Amino acid sequence: MNTTRISTYLPPWANGRGLRLAGSDEDTVTLAVSCGLDALAGASCQRVVLVTRQPALIDGGSAAVLCAGLGLAATTDVSERLGGAAAALDAAACAVPGTLVIGVDLEDGAAAGALLVGEAQVLSLRTRIQRSLPQRTRQLDGSLGQDDDARLMRERGLRAALDAAALDGKPLAIAGVSASEAKGFCAAPPAALPCRGAASPFFALAALCDAGATGLVAAADQGTLAVAELNAAAAVHRREPPAQPPAKQTDNPGSPLKISLAAYDRAFDAKLRWQAGRCNSCATLAMPPRHRCLNCGAEGDWQLSPLPRSGEIYTAATIHVPVPGLKTPYSLALVQLDGTDVRVLVTVTDSLPGAVAIGGRGTLVFRRIALRSGVPDYGYAFAPATTTPSVEN
């Protein structure tokens, strides 16, 4: 029987104010995959709900990429929902068992949080208050509107929404606002959260589960409020590496390589699901898959086989040559995958350029390896083991 699991993920990069920043190879989908895999931990999943205000693609959507990165069947029900903290808590509290709900933020703190709903649901919706107080707006052309009246948002936003909810007690945490803003409305001083958007409720829930606390949890978003009750502690997995300043890289001018959608389609499953072609005649692996086996010469007689996601650096190099569409410098590594004779050439992520060396161990993680013709091109990069600590409770 699946148990309810909560996972949190933070990129290793941070600005001078301590807010986490997405790396140049990260976007909404890669953050969702990093966090979602930890929540799944091999469990079954029938539905995925992704909540964010920064979707990777508007036209076309990201459902196929999300399923591939999470290792789910292409027939999995995927819903992409535009929203912030209130929408994410609402989705998690109303989801049926077997649903994976993921919230992702790229602004005001890059972060991702996820909750896999188990058979014994530990989170239930108490109420939702739908109100309109558009302090921050984004138009279709990308332009932003912002009203900086903090008192208005506190009194006509958060306080008015909580009054309308008529709760029978104060919540233990309020996601979507800072700890100082939430303090006066909570039963006890709440934990500080690294973000204020769709990922923030999962960090709030994780903190309560770590403390063994149960009770009301709220999430606010510009006058809108969702309130859920945490009935029991869930298993928590945190992937929150120590913060470090981002790498100093240069954007190189010029026209980047145009994407070939035919090649993109042919390589999709192997590249995004991290699978090699295994020859049915001699079992030789090839990554990427080849029509003709290099060992026995058989043609077209192969099937996809999962590859290990851990390995050791066979050799590495740091690239300083300017390339349009890529930030330099960056490091490449030839990685010997554990338990196979396969070596793969991948970029190095979550580490400063030039910081890895021969013999270093790490894992292959889902990343955006390029952005060509406006199309995010996803694959895998090597994350050194020392930069990706995680904690499970």
**pLDDT tens for each residue of 171-211:** 999 999 999 999 889 999 999 999 999 999 999 999 999 99
CA–CA distance, 224 with 131 (Å, rounded to integer): 5
Q: Say if strands 77-82 and 47-52 run parallel, antiparallel, or are unpaired.
A: parallel
pLDDT-based confidence at residue 388 (cuts at 50, 70, 90)? very low
User: Range(s) for CATH 2.40.50 in the chain?
Assistant: 252-274+309-392
The CATH classification number of 252-274+309-392 equals 2.40.50
Confidence of residue 136 (pLDDT cuts 50, 70, 90): confident
Q: In one letter, which amino acid is 384? A: P
Mean residue pLDDT across the chain: 92
pLDDT tens for each residue of 72-123: 999 999 999 999 999 999 999 999 999 999 999 999 899 999 999 999 889 9
Q: Write down the CATH number for the domain with range 5-239.
A: 3.40.47.10
Looking at the chain, the domain(s) classified CATH 3.40.47.10 span 5-239
